[in-house]
Structure 1
Amino acid sequence: MDNHVFQMNCWFEGHVQGVGFRYQTVNVAKGFEVTGYVRNLVDGRVHLYAEGAESEVRAFQTEVESELQDYIRATEIKTDSGPRACQSFRIEQ
């Protein structure tokens, strides 16, 4: 049995810290079958890691970007597949 899942790392640039970005991302995640985390980076970006079925992960990322587009100036995405690393979706400090 293949226990690998689709994995997406996404870095958001812009006015993405101090605006409730991480909390809104967790709220959006509740509507999708994804696990992972969102965290602030010291360079001012926000890092989103999500895993699950590719269609769910991509739809989740699209919804996050849509809901928070006013704060995002640029997005960088890298995808992969590998073993599931998270049990839930959360804010990581």
Structure 2
Amino acid sequence: MLQYHLIVNGRVHGVGFRYFTQMKANAYHITGWVRNLPDDQVEILAEGSEDDLVLFANSIKEGNPFSRVTSIEKTESSHLQGFKSFTIKY
């Protein structure tokens, strides 16, 4: 199990990106959370197997039909917080 901390840049506010992220997390058995940052970025803390996290991160790079992801900053860690589900933080 690994943890990814992702900062997503691009057109990711006001386009359903957090909900899209939650749906992808559930599809790939990822736990953690997603939230908007005040500087028009989205922050994601995700935990899961390495294979599932890679698939999840790749789907986040593609985004939903209304978003446009220009870059993702990724930090990987083996320190887990043991989330039980994936939530949207407000």
- TM-score when scaled to structure 1? 0.85
The 3-state SS of whatever aligns with 1:82 is: coil
The 3-state SS of whatever aligns with 1:83 is: coil
Q: Structure 2 residue aligned with 1:32, among 28, 34, 48?
A: 28
The one-character-per-residue Cα deviations of 1:26-59 (angstroms, maximum 9, x if unpaired) are: 1111211110111000111000110011111111
Q: Which residue of 2 aligns with 1:22?
A: 18
Unaligned runs of 5+ in 2: none
Q: Which residue of 1 aligns with 2:63?
A: 67
Q: Which structure's CA Rg is the greater one?
A: 1
Q: Cα–Cα, structure 1 residues 73 and 10, in superposed 2: closer, same or farther, change >3 Å?
A: same
Aligned residue pair count: 89
- Measured in 1, the distance between the counterparts of 2:80 and 2:25 equals 20
Unaligned runs of 5+ in 1: none
- Measured in 1, the distance between the counterparts of 2:72 and 2:80 equals 25
- Aligned residues of 2:21 and 2:34 also touching (Cα < 8 A): yes
- Measured in 2, the distance between the counterparts of 1:65 and 1:74 equals 8
1:7 aligns with 2:3: yes
The 3-state SS of whatever aligns with 2:27 is: coil
Same amino acid, percent of matched pairs: 33
Q: Which amino acid aligns with 2:77?
A: D
Report the CA distance between 1:87 and its aligned residue.
0.9
- Measured in 1, the distance between the counterparts of 2:57 and 2:50 equals 11
1:77 aligns with 2:69: no
